[in-house]
Every structure is written in structure tokens, then in C-alpha cells.
Amino acid sequence: MLNKQVWSPSCLCAAVVAMAAGLCVDVASAQVDVRTEVFLSGMNEPIVLTHAPEDSGRVFVAEKRGVIRVVRDGVLLPTPFLDIDPLISSFGERGLLGLAFSPNYNDDGWFFVHYTNNSGNTVIARYSVSSENPDVADPDSALIILTQTQPFSNHNGGWIDFGPVDNYLYIALGDGGSSGDPQGNGQRLTTLLGKILRIDVLGEPDPGKQYAVPADNPFVGTGNAEEIWAYGLRNPWRNDFDPMTGDLYIADVGQGQREEVNYQRGDSPGGENYGWKCREGDICFSTALPCPSSCAINPFIDPVVVYDHGPTGGCSITGGMVYRGCQIDGLSGTYFYADFCTNRVWSFRMVDGEVTEFTLRTAQFGGISSIISFGRDADGELYVLSQGGTIRKVVPVAPGTGRCPCPADLDGDGDLTIFDFLEFQNLFSMGDMRADFDGDGELTLFDFLEFQNQFALGCP
């Protein structure tokens, strides 16, 4: 088994990924106002802000042109972490689009990038940090993990990240581009286009590949592409795993009428069909095969949030992230997202599979333009990235208490009771890695001892 990602000790959240569900908060997120302050400016189309595991002192910013920068303690370092500009086509929707660090980065030094090469095709590659300087990668360490031919220049997807529960690499690919999915890739299970993929890049690879297909992927042994985890997507742009629950939020850019957020629980077995091109958001788009012959037939997973292209909506969703920080009281578990065209920002919280506390927050974000992405640091704090080169941090209007959610409160009621012990016992008996409280990748007596320790500490 592999070690899990954990939060940094400065946030008192080292076991946060072990929390089963629920939130230790007293205030509804809709009642919590926020603001933003400039974190960095003068960047060149920043498109990803992320962190290495347990690294609260640095964030990494990927620029679309193919350069990854290091920000240490708020200061942008002059030497790039990695510069692969010569390998990349960054015209239009192409470029360096994704960056993810191995959950075992402190041991293996690996990180993974998602980019479009000079032929316009998708590449997933692994690089290693330099053995001499932790702020510089080894440009000669590249290992191509996967490539995918792109028939058109747009709809490349671009997101990659490791699942916080299973440590597999998830990859988002668009439907191949053009308009209206002319090749029908969203519904076609023999292609990787229009899908979320799930592969193992940390264990032994399958013969002839640089990765392994997990045995429990939903299409293993069916004659379809076994890497597929979910499908029916047009151009998933900026997805996010809630690092506490493993829930997945998928923002899918629409054709001409709807923008959508799809939601997948952390315990999902995969295989979800989100509908494209049969459906666009919550409306019918096509009845041509393989879609149902009638719009009244809807066997698909509907989005949890949609908005239209009218005066109160936008034209291109920018998927956001779940707040899991300590600086803003009452906001933990709240998902933020935006529209690239109108610069509107919204938030909501998922509770028992339902959208709650839906809030329009545009005014609180201070007129940020061309929101292209969101980011999260090792302490769970959020950032907003503008295509124009400015990165702003989401901060409280008034100083907070700095309290984090309580790891031992497994039933999420805000109190530590016998029911939390029962929930731990349930997770442990099912082999659920959310019971891995000591973070060693195995379920042993030491996890029970660490749970007891966290229980004794109480909720802050």
C-alpha cells in the first residue's frame, strides 16, 4: 500500500484525509464573507497553483507556456522549477495544463504534468526533482506515461490529480474538440477522449505500458478502454478532489447553453455517464445514436449545479476547489467556482449529496477578471488565478480563530462521542483507508492508537 497525502502540521490537519464525512463547523458558509488580496502579480498566464505533500512553505505555479515556478514563503524564486516550453504548443486552449505531485514525493521526488506537445497531442509525463536542489527539477528525467492524439485544437481538458483515498492518478480529457462532438467521443467507450481516466503510476506497470490499470476500474474486461473512470464529458476544466472526503467535483464547459458542475462521491465505484453529447447540462442536446431516441429518456447522471448563458450566467465555467483551510472560520467544505467570461463567482456546500448554502460571491472577489483557475496550498487555503497574470488569495474579512476541522469527529456532528469510535471501527473493518490515521498506508493497531490520540486532543 502507498502513503496518503496529508496536510501540513501548521494547520493541525495531518490526518485530515482520514475524516470520513461531515464538517466540524458552527457557522453556515453562506453567512461567511470573504475577500481576496494579491498574492502574486506579473505571472505569464498562470494556470495551476498547487503544492507538494506536507510542504506548507512553498507553492508551485504552472504557466501555460510550459514553465513551473516556485513560490517560497510568498517570494517568487527567480529560477524556474521546470521549463519545458520548447516541448509545448500553447496556442489557444493548448499548453501546460496540469501538474500533480506524487503522494510519495518526499521519498520518490516525482511529479506529473499534462500538456499538449508541438503536434497538438496530449502528453502525460513524469519528472523528478533534482537531487541537489529541492527548488529545481531535473529536465532530463522525463518519462512519457501516456499520449493521446487530439483531432482538433480545442477541448484538451488538462486536469490531473491523485485521488486522496486510493493514490491513483486521475486525468481529464476533453471530447477532442471542434463543436458538438462530431466524432461522438463523449459516449464512445473505446476512446479516452471525453473521459476521466484513472491509472496507477506508482506501482508496477502493465506490460507494454508505463502505468497499470487498477483492477477495480469500471470497464476492466469489457472490451472498452480500461483506463476510463467516468465519461460523457465535453471539456472538463479544473476539477477537484475534496482532500478530506475524496469527493470529486467536475466542472464541464458547455456548448452554447449550459455550464455545469458534476459531483462524484468519494466512495463511488466509477462508471458514471455525465451525458455529453446527449445532454448539455440539464437539457437535451442530441437524440442521434448512441443517445436515447427521445429527450424524455434520461439515463445519465445530472449535474448538481448548472447555469445558462443568459445575463445572470456566463459562457465558460472555471472549476474551482473545496476550501479546507484554517484561516476562515465556518468555510470548511465549501466549493468555489467561477465563470471565465463574466467573472462571476459562486460557492456551495454538498451535504448528503445535496447542494446547500448556494451563494453568489462575485462582489467579495473584488472584480477579478478572466478567472482561469483556482489553487490550494498545503494548509488548505484557496487562491484565484487570473489569465492576465495575477494570483489572489482568498482571506477572511475579519480575522478567524485559525481552527481546523477535528480529525477524530468522524460522524461530523461537532462533538467527540462513542459514535465516532463506531465509525472508526466501521471504516477499519471495511479496509477503508480513511481509517489510516497514522498515514503509513496500512491499517494496523497503530491507526487505532492514533485515533485515540486525536480523540483525546478533542475538537479545537
> How confident is the model at residue 94, as a pLDDT?
97
Instruction: Examine residue 277 and say whether the peptide bond preceding it is cis (omega within 30 degrees of 0).
Output: yes
Q: Is residue 412 part of a domain?
A: no
Q: Is residue 411 part of a domain?
A: no
- The residue behind cell 481552527 is 403
How far is 370 from 138, CA to CA, in rounded Å? 32
CATH number of the structural domain spanning residue 371: 2.120.10.30
How far is 360 from 354, CA to CA, in rounded Å? 17
> How confident is the model at residue 79, as a pLDDT?
98
Please state the domain count of the chain: 2
Q: Is residue 5 part of a domain?
A: no
The Cβ of residue 247 has, within 10 Å, a number of other Cβ atoms equal to 22
pLDDT digits (tens, 9 = 90+) for 94-137: 999 999 999 999 999 999 999 999 999 999 999 999 999 999 99
How far is 191 from 322, CA to CA, in rounded Å? 30
Q: Is residue 427 part of a domain?
A: yes
Arithmetic mean of pLDDT, 157-182: 97
pLDDT digits (tens, 9 = 90+) for 289-320: 999 999 999 999 999 999 999 888 899 999 99
pLDDT digits (tens, 9 = 90+) for 173-208: 999 999 999 999 999 999 999 999 999 999 999 999
Comparing 7-21, 274-288, 386-400, the range with the smallest average pLDDT is 7-21
What does the DSSP assignment read for 304-331?
A: SEEEESSTTS-SSEEEEEE---SSSTT-
CA-closest candidate to residue 231, choices 252, 247, 255: 252
Q: Is residue 250 part of a domain?
A: yes
Q: Is residue 264 part of a domain?
A: yes
Mean pLDDT (the chain, rounded)? 90
Residues 431 and 350 reside in one and the same domain: no
- Are 450 and 15 within 8 A, CB to CB? yes
Cell representation of residue 89: 504548443
Residues 73 and 137 reside in one and the same domain: yes
Cell representation of residue 380: 488548505
Residues 450 and 301 reside in one and the same domain: no
Residues 307 and 433 reside in one and the same domain: no
Per cent of the chain over pLDDT 70 is 91
Per cent of the chain over pLDDT 90 is 77
Residue that finishes a domain, picked among 396, 426, 447: 396
> How confident is the model at residue 315, as a pLDDT?
95
pLDDT-derived band at 456 (thresholds 50, 70, 90) equals: confident
Run of H or E including 420: helix 418-429
Q: How far is CA 162 from CA 20, 57, 165, 239, 328, in A?
A: 18, 21, 9, 12, 26
Residues 325 and 238 reside in one and the same domain: yes
Residues 252 and 335 reside in one and the same domain: yes
Residues 108 and 151 reside in one and the same domain: yes
Residues 323 and 196 reside in one and the same domain: yes
Highest mean pLDDT among 3-12, 18-27, 268-277: 268-277
Longest dimension (CA), the chain: 62
> How confident is the model at residue 27, as a pLDDT?
52
Arithmetic mean of pLDDT, 86-90: 96
CA-closest candidate to residue 11, choices 324, 242, 245, 331: 324
pLDDT-derived band at 407 (thresholds 50, 70, 90) equals: confident
How far is 433 from 2, CA to CA, in rounded Å? 10
Residues 279 and 347 reside in one and the same domain: yes
Q: Is residue 13 part of a domain?
A: no
- Give the torsion sign (CA, 282, 286, 291, 296): positive
> How confident is the model at residue 400, as a pLDDT?
66
pLDDT digits (tens, 9 = 90+) for 17-27: 333 333 333 35
The Cβ of residue 163 has, within 10 Å, a number of other Cβ atoms equal to 18
- Residue bearing the bigger pLDDT, 329 or 42: 42
Residues 78 and 208 reside in one and the same domain: yes
Residues 220 and 126 reside in one and the same domain: yes
- Are 252 and 317 within 8 A, CB to CB? yes
Domain carrying residue 430:
418-457
Strands of 371-376's sheet, edge to edge?
Answer: 34-40, 391-396, 382-386, 371-376
**236: buried, middle or exposed (CB in 10 Å: 19+, 13-18, 0-12)?**
buried
Q: How far is CA 20 from CA 55, 70, 190, 246, 366, in A?
A: 23, 33, 35, 9, 35
In this predicted structure, the answer to whether residue 402 has a pLDDT above a threshold of 90 is no
Q: Is residue 7 part of a domain?
A: no
Residues 129 and 183 reside in one and the same domain: yes
Q: For residue 4, what is the DSSP state? A: P
> How confident is the model at residue 29, as a pLDDT?
72
How far is 45 from 112, CA to CA, in rounded Å? 19
> How confident is the model at residue 31, as a pLDDT?
80
- Residue bearing the bigger pLDDT, 396 or 7: 396
> How confident is the model at residue 438, as a pLDDT?
78
How far is 453 from 436, CA to CA, in rounded Å? 13
> How confident is the model at residue 24, as a pLDDT?
33
